[in-house]
Amino acid sequence: MRVTLESYGGLAAAANFRRRPDVLDTDDLPESDAAELARLVAAAEAMPAEEQDGRGRDAMSYVITVEAGGRSTVLTQSDTAKSPAFAALLAWLRAHFAQQR
């Protein structure tokens, strides 16, 4: 499974404009981490985003693309309207990428 994380918008939009997306391949992870990531992805795919109410136009938006088994799934949510499952996946990915830097 390959997972890509892209971030857009927010108060630092100009700084993030040309930033390359973070990419993770589960083949490069320990088995337990790969299993945890698969669980988080499945939960985020199953839970829809919360409705946006128009607030937070400068909020960060996130695009998580999951490629597995010849299929690609794109999950897009923002700071003002994200499901708990998406938030958990995003937190896990951020922690992983922070360790890699």
pLDDT at residue 57 in the model: 63
Tokens of 69: 């088994």
pTM: 0.85
State how far the Cα of 76 lies from the Cα of 59, in Å rounded to an integer.
13
Helix or strand or coil: residue 21? Answer: coil
pLDDT tens-digit series, residues 1-56 = 999 999 887 655 445 556 789 999 999 999 999 999 999 999 999 987 666 555 65
4 contacts 20 by C-beta, under 8 angstroms:
no
